[in-house]
Structure 1
Amino acid sequence: MLRVVQKPQRLCQLGRLVRMPALQTAVLGNAKAVPAGSQRPAIPLQARAAIVRAFGTSAHLEAPQRHSAVVSSDTKSQVTVAYPDGKSTSFHGIWLRDHCRCPQCFHPITKQRLSDTGEFPLDIKPQSIEIVGDKDLRIVWPSTQHESVFSLEWLRQHSYWPNIGTARPAIREKILWNAETANTFPRVSYESIMAGDQGLAEWLRNIDVYGIGFVEGVPPNAEDTETLAKRIGIIRETHYGGFWDFTSDLSHGDTAYTTIGLPAHTDTTYFTDPIGLQTFHLLAHEGTGGESIYVDSFYAAKLLKEQHPEHYETLSTVPVRTHCAGDEDELHFSTPSHRPIFGLDPITDELIQVRFNEPDRSILNHIPGDKVYKFYEALAVWRSILTHPESEFKIALRPGTVVAVDNWRVLHGRTAFTGYRRLVGCYHGWDELQSRIRVVLDKSQLKETV
């Protein structure tokens, strides 16, 4: 229910007080127009709706009254929503018009925009605004008389100026690990994954939380391993093929196809979008050595940041080029060709990706002279953390055990070996992996965040 009153409002503009024309104010109560100059009725204490105020970006309003709505006549509008807990946030008029979720502006099934943002005036402001049913904000826009309705909770969840919401993608907290704690990794049975989404969810949760997921009881053959991998999603084709089956025969120009040891690394650092998940299944080994090595690079990066923040900064900012040039008909560089080892989220500065493969590192002829020593020093300290016995989790894989590795986080390698060693596996794209995690673990709740 709304009661509309006219109230003069003072604003501070460019350092001086000015008196604005009467502004339209909406408050909870019975819908009733009150002439300008009339005494403003008391607002009931039990009112639960949020305060909403709209005002010009070139002016600053005084502290808001609880449970009120104000729309100014200034050229550029903002709408401020203040909630009963005392928190408030503002939205630009153009942002609100752009984010209209009515069926004419946003397809309810495909979740795609239907409106043309370029048609909206940059300084668009609401023609009218009101709180409906204590839970929605209804805006009527000028000229077209288009109506937008936003739930007050939705606005809070997607607030930005400032952000006062709690709605973010339901990302599970990452659990960092080292060689000692890795022995406690949870494991999932092949049968449970193939039986339904509950087992698949357990596997995906382990991958998402630990960066690595073990599956036990897998039939020791390529066909069933591929079927298991496809439970996650589409297998990503690369120049190595789709589902690969290889030994140390140098069928590709890569040290993975030899018997020599491989230091812990991530794959496809030379791709613009490195693969997201790598799945391994050791089907046979008739010889010695060949232990698998896994390192939680996020754990190692955390140690580096805490103990040597200057080196963390260097590896987050100095770009490095990597390549794939072993096959006669292949030559890969990413675009752009140089990327830092640590990839940080541009909004939060959180570490989201590690690209590290020393054998694939290209010529360093682009680093300024005054940063060369800094880079090599940071690289040496970083490698010392990765190769420390406390960081390296070594395990001798056996037929029947499948391991899936988050290639943006967990480094993998192996010790040198002798004899015949057969490994099968495949890649999944990062985006496909993350989509599967969201759909299986978070169901449809994240649809509201798009």
Structure 2
Amino acid sequence: MAMLNAVLRTFCKQTVGRYQHVSALTGSSSVPVRWIKTNSKLLSSVQQVQVVDGGKKLNVTWDDGKSFDFHSIWLRFQCPCSNCREESSGLFRTRPADIPLGLKIKDAVKTDNGDVQVQWKEEQHHGHFSQDFLHQHIYSKDQLQAKKEVSRPVFKRSDGCGTLNEDGLAKLSGGSYGERLLSNFSPRFDENVRGGVTRFLDMYQVLSKFRVEHPNEFKTLCRVPISIQMEYENSDYPVLMSKRRPMIYLDDYGDVISVVWHTYMHAPLEVPEEDVEEFYNAYQLLGRAVEFSEDAIDTKLKPGEVIAFNNRRMLHARSAYEEGGSGKRHFQGGYLSGDDFKSRLLVLAKKMGDPRPAIRIGNNDWR
């Protein structure tokens, strides 16, 4: 674990730019910095606030003339005050059961600095929201779509983190990356080794084409659950993993956020009779799309090279090593948590003043 943490730190190491903390909100005590930090640039100014729909919503009008309604209950669950959030972490510590049902806004005002103060009706509680925070979290359909369209990798430079985040695959050779990773993984490759070509295939790319060519089968794989099982009883660390889920998960926009393709780990299918043939037909068609895809990437590691890839997105295989080669090969690999990688990526991006979300990493996150 210590070695993997060292690798994670090395792989994600970036030069961080300066960033500033947003001042604590007037009228609230010890607002967690993490919760209200932005990219230190005023996004838009609040011009007017008005309680509407009988207190169920707060209408906010901005200096560009646009307005948006924030639901009362949405605002309550975002309250940044020290009573609602842990000061150090920003975690919301108010229990859902403690917030009145059908909570309505009693009053709302714009403060002298343009922030918004909200007073709720059914409980003696008020929240103080920065105008930057509100503007950054508008959840209209158009705004959510706009956020989705600009949800590109947080690092646009040609670095390992950004490449792995965007493409799911990154090859690092030489330089500080290669040297530091090699010191942890200690792989050795001889130029005289024959064979051993590694092949990668982006499953997101396969599914984007499969969805167009076989729309009904795509829907089947999103609906019918498969059974996955891995069992190693006779080992130092016995393992028995069992899972039942559809092969493909979609988000609220219908985009793929997760896919499982473990052809060697399938347990007996447990679905209604009418789904059996439909599932296997779709499964076999996707199998053909994988096998005969023209989008596979073939590469062979050279001395001093390291490959990192998203195991929840990239299919990978290797050709056999050929007889007659006189070289020697020593190889080591390791796993990093996808959630840890994404967390470190977002932390570094935020320090560089880039608040955009990371691209999906296949962990069922809808963002």
Query: Structures share a fold, TM > 0.5?
Result: yes
> Contact 1:169–1:446 at 8 Å: present in 2 too?
no
> Structure 1 residues 282, 435: CA separation in 2 closer, same or farther (over 3 Å shift)?
farther
What is residue 263 of structure 2 aligned with on the other side? 358
Superposition pairs for residues 107-122 of structure 1, below 5 Å? 107-122=86-101
Q: Tell me the secondary structure at the aligned position of residue 127 of structure 1.
A: strand
> Contact 1:49–1:135 at 8 Å: present in 2 too?
yes
In 2, Cα distance between equivalents of 1:145 and 1:396: 65
Shift of 1:162: 5.5
1:129 corresponds to which of 93, 104, 108? 108
Q: Does 1:217 find its partner at 2:158?
A: no
What is residue 273 of structure 2 aligned with on the other side? 369
What is residue 99 of structure 1 aligned with on the other side? 78
2:307 corresponds to which of 392, 398, 403? 403
What is residue 351 of structure 2 aligned with on the other side? 443
In 1, Cα distance between equivalents of 2:148 and 2:78: 17
> Bigger relative contact order, structure 1 or 2, given CA contacts below 8 A and separation 6+?
2
Q: Does 1:417 find its partner at 2:321?
A: yes
> Contact 2:107–2:120 at 8 Å: present in 1 too?
yes
> Contact 2:46–2:61 at 8 Å: present in 1 too?
no
Q: Tell me the secondary structure at the aligned position of residue 413 of structure 1.
A: strand
> Structure 1 residues 444, 286: CA separation in 2 closer, same or farther (over 3 Å shift)?
closer
What is residue 249 of structure 2 aligned with on the other side? 343
What is residue 55 of structure 1 aligned with on the other side? 52
Superposition pairs for residues 28-67 of structure 1, below 5 Å? 49-56=46-53
Shift of 1:367: 3.0
Is there any run of 5+ residues in structure 2 with no aligned partner, and where?
Answer: 1-44, 358-366
Q: Does 1:155 find its partner at 2:134?
A: yes
1:427 corresponds to which of 335, 341, 360? 335
What is residue 139 of structure 1 aligned with on the other side? 118
1:260-317 superposed Cα distances (whole Å, 9 cap, x missing partner) = xxxxxxxxxxxxxxxxxxxxx5645875432111001111111101111112212222
Superposition pairs for residues 182-261 of structure 1, below 5 Å? 202-217=159-174, 225=181, 227=183
In 1, Cα distance between equivalents of 2:169 and 2:56: 49
Task: Give the TM-score taking structure 1 as reference length.
Answer: 0.58
Give the letter aligned to residue 56 of structure 2. S
In 2, Cα distance between equivalents of 1:412 and 1:388: 14
What is residue 288 of structure 2 aligned with on the other side? 384
Q: Tell me the secondary structure at the aligned position of residue 402 of structure 1.
A: strand
> Contact 1:127–1:141 at 8 Å: present in 2 too?
yes
> Structure 1 residues 352, 144: CA separation in 2 closer, same or farther (over 3 Å shift)?
closer
> Contact 1:282–1:397 at 8 Å: present in 2 too?
no
In 2, Cα distance between equivalents of 1:339 and 1:288: 40
Q: Tell me the secondary structure at the aligned position of residue 333 of structure 1.
A: strand
In 2, Cα distance between equivalents of 1:54 and 1:432: 41
> Structure 1 residues 374, 125: CA separation in 2 closer, same or farther (over 3 Å shift)?
closer
In 1, Cα distance between equivalents of 2:305 and 2:47: 55
- Once superposed, what is the RMSD of the aligned Cα atoms? 3.7
> Contact 1:89–1:164 at 8 Å: present in 2 too?
no
Shift of 1:116: 4.1
What is residue 292 of structure 1 aligned with on the other side? 198
Shift of 1:131: 1.6
Give the letter aligned to residue 165 of structure 2. D
> Structure 1 residues 163, 129: CA separation in 2 closer, same or farther (over 3 Å shift)?
farther
> Contact 1:170–1:442 at 8 Å: present in 2 too?
no
> Contact 2:182–2:304 at 8 Å: present in 1 too?
no
1:405-434 superposed Cα distances (whole Å, 9 cap, x missing partner) = 111111111123346753201001111111
> Contact 1:292–1:413 at 8 Å: present in 2 too?
yes
Q: Tell me the secondary structure at the aligned position of residue 159 of structure 2.
A: helix
> Contact 2:171–2:305 at 8 Å: present in 1 too?
yes
Shift of 1:227: 5.0
Q: Tell me the secondary structure at the aligned position of residue 279 of structure 2.
A: helix
> Contact 1:50–1:84 at 8 Å: present in 2 too?
yes
Shift of 1:133: 3.3
What is residue 172 of structure 1 aligned with on the other side? 152
Higher helix share: 2
In 2, Cα distance between equivalents of 1:226 and 1:144: 59
Q: Tell me the secondary structure at the aligned position of residue 59 of structure 2.
A: strand
Give the letter aligned to residue 51 of structure 2. A
> Contact 1:218–1:401 at 8 Å: present in 2 too?
no
Q: Tell me the secondary structure at the aligned position of residue 314 of structure 1.
A: helix
> Contact 1:91–1:161 at 8 Å: present in 2 too?
no
The alignment of Structure 1 onto Structure 2 pairs a total of residues equal to: 306
Give the letter aligned to residue 360 of structure 1. M
How high is the sequence identity, in percent, across the aligned residues? 25
In 1, Cα distance between equivalents of 2:288 and 2:56: 55
> Contact 2:86–2:93 at 8 Å: present in 1 too?
yes
> Structure 1 residues 383, 173: CA separation in 2 closer, same or farther (over 3 Å shift)?
farther
